[in-house]
């Protein structure tokens, strides 16, 4: 008999609005750039984390989404650092910053690589940034897939919980490539929280 699991909170950041548990939050309706939009979310939710400004776009997007999810679900207060897993997925990996970094080393006469940029040229750095900010030391994995796969995510996370590898999981899709972006994070716990959505493939597909 496998234990039940629930989606206790979910948040999305899409052009150009934030939503928390399905309710619309911050909305941008001016003519902003993506960078402005992310900075506006940072300001509007009073996120105080100066390191944010040094991050690449993928990490900025994912970190903001994680901040909103963690505030809303309070999982870091409910669980020990090693009880929380992080499982993320996207299709463009870190290609957005990979290409920007490549441009700094492409030409001999215009050669200006920066370690501060280089360090972001892996997708799982986003997991690292979330783990560092919220002191999460549980299991983690970043999967690259063509599209969000509710079936895979559901079975992977159920397995983590059912085998006692974690008691809670922060999961979702964080994609940023060429100013096109879409981020969706959700928390899975073994008992209902603010939401009582059952952790099933169907429901995941509906709320994504």
Partner 1 sequence: MPDHVYVTGMGIISAIGNSVEETFHSLYTGKTGIGKIKYLDTVHKNDFVAGEIKRSNEELIALAGIGDYNRTALCGYIAAREALYNAGIVDINEARTGLVTSTTVGGICHAENVYKDFFEGISNENFTDSYLSGVSANIMASHLGITEFVTTISTACSSAANAIMLGTRLIKNNMLDRVVVGGVDTLSKFTFNGFNTLMILDREWCKPFDENRKGLNLGEGAGFLVLESERLVRQKNKKILARIAGYGNANDAYHQTASSPDGVGALLAMEKALKIEELKPSQISYINAHGTGTANNDSSEGMAMQRLFGAEIPPFSSTKAFTGHTLAAAAAVEAVFSILAIQNSVIFPGLNRHEQMKDVSISPIDQLMINQPLEYVMSNSFGFGGNCSSLIFAKR
- Kindly state the smallest distance separating residue 112's Cβ from partner 1, in Å: 16
């309706």: which residue's tokens? 29
Residues contacting residue 164 through CB under 8 Å, at least 6 positions apart:
none
Determine the interface stretch with partner 1 among 35-43, 94-102, 131-139, 190-198 (rule: CB under 8 A).
131-139
Encoding tokens for residue 84?
A: 């929380």
Identify the CA nearest to 153 among candidates 161, 95, 45. 161
Identify the CA nearest to 23 among candidates 68, 62, 60. 68
Burial of 40 (0-12, 13-18, 19+ CB in 10 A): middle
Assess 105 for contact with partner 1 (CB under 8 A).
no
- Kindly state the smallest distance separating residue 10's Cβ from partner 1, in Å: 23
Assess 113 for contact with partner 1 (CB under 8 A).
no
Q: Mark residues 37-66: x for contact with partner 1 by CB under 8 A, - for none.
A: ------------------------------
Residues contacting residue 13 through CB under 8 Å, at least 6 positions apart:
41, 61, 64, 65, 68, 181, 182, 183
Determine the interface stretch with partner 1 among 71-79, 99-107, 123-131, 168-176 (rule: CB under 8 A).
123-131
Distances (CA, A) of 181 to 13, 27, 136: 8, 15, 25
- Kindly state the smallest distance separating residue 204's Cβ from partner 1, in Å: 26
Instruction: Please give the biggest Cα pair distance in the chain.
Output: 64
- Kindly state the smallest distance separating residue 205's Cβ from partner 1, in Å: 29
Determine the interface stretch with partner 1 among 71-79, 90-98, 125-133, 146-154 (rule: CB under 8 A).
125-133
Determine the interface stretch with partner 1 among 68-76, 133-141, 143-151, 174-182 (rule: CB under 8 A).
133-141
Assess 136 for contact with partner 1 (CB under 8 A).
yes
Q: Pairing between strand 180-189 and 6-14?
A: antiparallel
Determine the interface stretch with partner 1 among 20-28, 61-69, 128-136, 144-152 (rule: CB under 8 A).
128-136
Task: Return the residue of 15, 36, 82, 178 that touches partner 1, per CB under 8 A.
Answer: 82
Assess 104 for contact with partner 1 (CB under 8 A).
no
Q: CA 68, CA 198: separation in Å to the nearest integer?
A: 21
What residues line the site for partner 1 (CB under 8 A)? 81-82, 119, 125, 128, 131-132, 134-137, 140
């Amino acid at each position: 008999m496998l234990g039940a699991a629930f989606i206790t909170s979910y948040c999305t950041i899409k052009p150009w609005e934030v939503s928390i548990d399905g309710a619309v939050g911050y909305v941008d309706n001016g003519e902003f750039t993506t960078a402005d939009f992310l900075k506006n979310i940072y300001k509007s939710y009073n996120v105080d984390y100066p390191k944010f400004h040094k991050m690449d776009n993928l990490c900025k997007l994912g970190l903001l989404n994680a901040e909103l999810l963690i505030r809303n679900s309070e999982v870091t207060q409910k669980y020990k650092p090693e009880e929380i897993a992080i499982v993320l997925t996207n299709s463009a990996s870190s290609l957005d910053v990979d290409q920007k970094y490549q441009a700094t080393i492409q030409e001999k006469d215009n050669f200006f690589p920066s370690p501060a940029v280089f360090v972001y040229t892996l997708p799982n750095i986003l997991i690292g940034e979330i783990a560092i900010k919220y002191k999460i030391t549980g299991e983690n994995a970043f999967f690259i897939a063509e599209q969000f796969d509710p079936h895979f995510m559901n079975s992977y996370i159920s397995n983590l919980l059912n085998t006692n590898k974690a008691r809670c999981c922060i999961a979702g899709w964080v994609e940023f490539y060429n100013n096109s972006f879409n981020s969706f994070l959700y928390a899975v716990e073994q008992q209902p929280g603010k939401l009582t959505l059952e952790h099933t493939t169907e429901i995941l597909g509906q709320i994504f």
